[in-house]
Structure 1
Amino acid sequence: MGWFGRKSELYDWQRGPQHWRYTTDDRPQVYLQQTYAPVAGMKRGSISESNEPNKNTLDVTVPVDLAFLDLFRGRTPTERLLLTVYERKRDNSVVRRWIGEIGNVTWSDSKVVLRHFPPSASQTTNGLKECWQKNCPHMVYSAGMGLCNAAQETMRVNATVSSVSGSVVQSSAWATKPDGWFDGGWVQWGEGTAIERRFVTQHTGDTLTLMTPALLPVGTVLATLPGCDGTIDTCINKFGNWLNYGGFPWWPTKNPMGNEAIY
């Protein structure tokens, strides 16, 4: 592309080590030894900046048959999908125009609109993250000083799927645990180099009800992690992890000074 060439844009969607690369040009483009495939009809909305990050969204419209959209057909990926937009100028130089992640997907008969949010939209302010409370505030299996540190390898149950119907999945391996054992936990499996997860809302016998459907073929092996309700009894009896318990189960419920102010 020379001085009299057209500008083109390069779109790089990324999930972990996986990439899907496309261009608005009518021929393939190569940048940093990576090829971007042409997509007819792909376009984006305007790029804006304001003091309200949630308004700085970027809509990208793509054909409904784009291979990248297979990630969203009948399900929602659990890992973040990042987008980097580059612009190739007429002098062949390339600059990065925008970066963010997919927030939602809107389908129609012939096209799909991918709405992206900038990194600032997911940032939170600094502040106290823990309170004085009876139940444990730690995320189960979180690792590090002052966190849960329950061992996933010890608690994991590998289960071979015998039946799938929407959000309901069955495996005989789950029947070896009492009802409710996996409530609040999740199942996970590999898809290429990515890891997909679905959270468990109910466990009864050999059946799990998932929060969202999973397109799983029979025979898939799922790593199943039990959940935690944050109580000291569960921490002791289920996980044997009471030394890392982050709550204060013996916190008094009655004010020892009475209901009257002292002054």
Structure 2
Amino acid sequence: MNWNQFEYSTNNGKPITLYEFIRNEQKYYRYTNADRDIDFNGVTWTSDAISNTGISIGTGNNLEITLPSTSDVVRLFRGIPPTKPVVIKMYQFHENDNEFRVIWVGKIQEVKRESIERAKLITTSVASSFERSGLRLTYGRSCPYALYDHNCRIRQENYKVADIEIIALNGANITVNLSNINDGYFSGGYMDFHIDGIQELRGLKAHVNNVIGILGGTQGLQKGMKINLYPGCDKTIKTCDEKFKNHLNYGGQPHIPGVSPFTIIKLF
């Protein structure tokens, strides 16, 4: 029998759902709703109390998945969530049948702790991204580009301050040893570091002396850890020129007149 015959059979169909969570295309978490571990497609899928709200026409692009709060996937979202979205792929096949189908592809949008022992994952389908409105470029004095993006054209590797050791941290700030770097140089920038071999990013707030504020706090960081720092930008033409020598790619219009031509000015 083929997959369709199993799927629509009232007697022979024994559906099994496989859940694959992918973090940064490096680490995989695989579960199944079967009553035992499943060896399928060359890997082992761990049996767990996992379920979903079901996929049907007209329910929108969201799918809710319930699993134990002790799951490794749920633990990723305790505190600061992963830098990059965690992708989920759901497969379905029938017992005694080697043919399987991909029934859902999406990303984890939110995690809700329903009870002490159970959590709910709110996922969004990849198809929902096709329904979003495109971004529109607006004009203003400050630069609308994101630092280091394809419009800004600055190569972050040219400004990376590598292998900086964390001397101390207090939950909101880290203390590092910086020499010959002015205050505010890293304000608005970011840092990268690795946890379990996976790169994580964290935004930087105010930089004063050797103390740097971390957006979201210092969870996951520890004393003695090596990090890479990248400077920030305040979106002004002065900083773009003096700090990065990138004024030719500046996206703002700093010489916009202060009075709008559409403003009604009464002379009398």
Measured against aligned partners, the alpha-carbon deviations of 1:159-209 in whole angstroms (never above 9, x if no partner) come to: 211122223222112x64333222221111123453211111222221122
Task: Letter of the 1:13 partner, please give it.
Answer: F
Q: Give the structure 1 partner of residue 140 of structure 2.
A: 133
Structure 2: how far apart are the matches of 1:257 and 1:56? 43
Q: Give the structure 2 partner of residue 211 of structure 1.
A: 215
Measured against aligned partners, the alpha-carbon deviations of 1:115-147 in whole angstroms (never above 9, x if no partner) come to: 1111244443246x323322111110013xxx1
Q: Gaps (5+ residues) in structure 1?
A: none
Instruction: Give secondary structure in 1 for the equivalent of 2:85.
Output: coil
Q: Is 1:199 the counterpart of 2:203 in the alignment?
A: yes
Matches within 5 A, 1:52-201: 55-92=60-97, 93-107=99-113, 108-123=115-130, 124-126=132-134, 129-143=136-150, 147-158=151-162, 159-173=164-178, 176-201=180-205
Shift of 1:49: 4.1
Instruction: Give secondary structure in 2 for the equivalent of 1:102.
Output: strand
Q: Given that residues 160 and 222 in structure 1 are in contact (C-alpha distance below 8 angstroms), is that contact kept between their aligned partners in structure 2?
A: yes
TM-score, length basis structure 2? 0.84
Instruction: Give secondary structure in 1 for the equivalent of 2:239.
Output: helix
Task: Letter of the 1:118 partner, please give it.
Answer: S
Shift of 1:13: 0.6
Give the root-mean-square deviation of aligned CA atoms. Answer: 2.5
Q: Is 1:238 the counterpart of 2:247 in the alignment?
A: no
Task: Letter of the 1:216 partner, please give it.
Answer: L
Selected match of 1:35 from 38, 44, 47 = 44
Shift of 1:70: 3.3
Q: Give the structure 1 partner of residue 53 of structure 2.
A: 45
Distance change in 2, residues 1:201/1:85 (3 Å):
same
Task: Letter of the 1:219 partner, please give it.
Answer: G
Q: Is 1:26 the counterpart of 2:35 in the alignment?
A: yes
Instruction: Give secondary structure in 2 for the equivalent of 1:14.
Output: strand
* Number of equivalences: 251
Measured against aligned partners, the alpha-carbon deviations of 1:5-32 in whole angstroms (never above 9, x if no partner) come to: 7321100111222211111112222333
Instruction: Give secondary structure in 1 for the equivalent of 2:116.
Output: coil
Structure 1: how far apart are the matches of 2:262 and 2:118? 66
Q: Gaps (5+ residues) in structure 2?
A: 1-5, 7-11
Q: Give the structure 2 partner of residue 6 of structure 1.
A: 14
Q: Given that residues 190 and 196 in structure 1 are in contact (C-alpha distance below 8 angstroms), is that contact kept between their aligned partners in structure 2?
A: yes
TM-score, length basis structure 1? 0.85
Shift of 1:227: 1.6
